[in-house]
Amino acid sequence: MPVSSDSDHSVAQPIQCILSDVDGVMTDGRIIYDSAGAETKQFHVRDGLGIKLWMQAGFPFGIITARNSPMVERRAVELGISHVSQGSGDKLQRALEILPEWGCELSSVCYIGDDLPDVPVMRRVGLAVAPADAAADVRNVAHWVLSSSGGHGAVRETIERLLRAKSLWSAAEASA
C-alpha cells in the first residue's frame, strides 16, 4: 500500500471510530450451510489484525449487521470487539445509539458497507468506505472505494490507510 496522500490525511484526521457491516465486508458475502443446516463464514486473518491494531491505537471498532450469527459473535470475542449489534434492521439508528457511548459524532465515523442497507449510514458519516465488489449504489455514495473485495482484506485496507494517513502506522507495525 502506498504512503497516504494529502487527501487521505485530511479525510482521516477527524475519524475516531469505525463501524462495519459483516457480510460482504468482513466476509465475501456468501452464506454457506452444511448438510446439518449449520451456517459457516470465512473471515480474513489480516482484517482481524487490522482491527486489533486500530483498537490498540486507541480507537473503537464496532459491528452493525442486519443478520444474526453465532460466528459473528465468536469472531468479535476473538478480536476483543465489544460493540456488536446483530439483527439491526435500521443501521443508522443503531449507529446513533452506539456513538454517544464512544463520545463520537457521525462526522468522526468511518463506516464500511457493501449493500443497500448500509447506504443511510454511509450518507451521514465522515468517511464512507466500500469494498471493491460492493453494490453499485454503495460505491456511488462511498468516499473511498477499496481495491480489496469483501472478505479479502477490505477492513485491513481501510484501517491501514487510515493509520498511515494519521501517521500511526509505524507504531502499529511495532506493536503487531
How much helix, strand and coil, in percent to the nearest 5, is found in the chain?
45, 15, 45
pLDDT tens per residue across span 14-45: 999 999 999 999 999 998 888 998 888 899 99
Element (H, E) at 170: helix 169-175
Confidence class for position 6, pLDDT limits 50, 70, 90:
low
Binding residues: 21, 23, 114
Phi and psi at residue 107, in whole multiples of 5°? -65, -15
Is 159 a domain residue?
yes
Q: Is the pLDDT of residue 2 over 50?
A: no
Q: Is the pLDDT of residue 118 over 90?
A: yes
Residue 161 lies in a domain: yes
* 159 alpha carbon, distance to own chain's centre: 8
For residue 85, pLDDT over 70 is answered with: yes
pLDDT at 173: 74
Picking from 126, 22, 124, the residue whose alpha carbon sits closest to that of residue 83 is 22
Q: How many CB atoms lie within 10 A of CB 68?
A: 10
Mean pLDDT for the stretch of residues 147-164: 97
Instruction: State the average pLDDT over residues 113-139.
Output: 98
Which residue shows C-alpha cell 468511518? 110
Please state the residue numbers annotated as binding site for substrate. Answer: 23
Q: What is the mean pLDDT of the chain?
A: 93
Which residue positions form the known binding site for Mg(2+)?
Answer: 21, 114
User: Is residue 94 one of the residues assigned to a domain?
Assistant: yes
Structural domain span for residue 32:
6-175
User: What's the total number of domains in the chain?
Assistant: 1
- Is the per-residue pLDDT at 116 higher than 90? yes
Flag whether 1 is in a domain: no
Give the pLDDT of residue 1.
Answer: 44
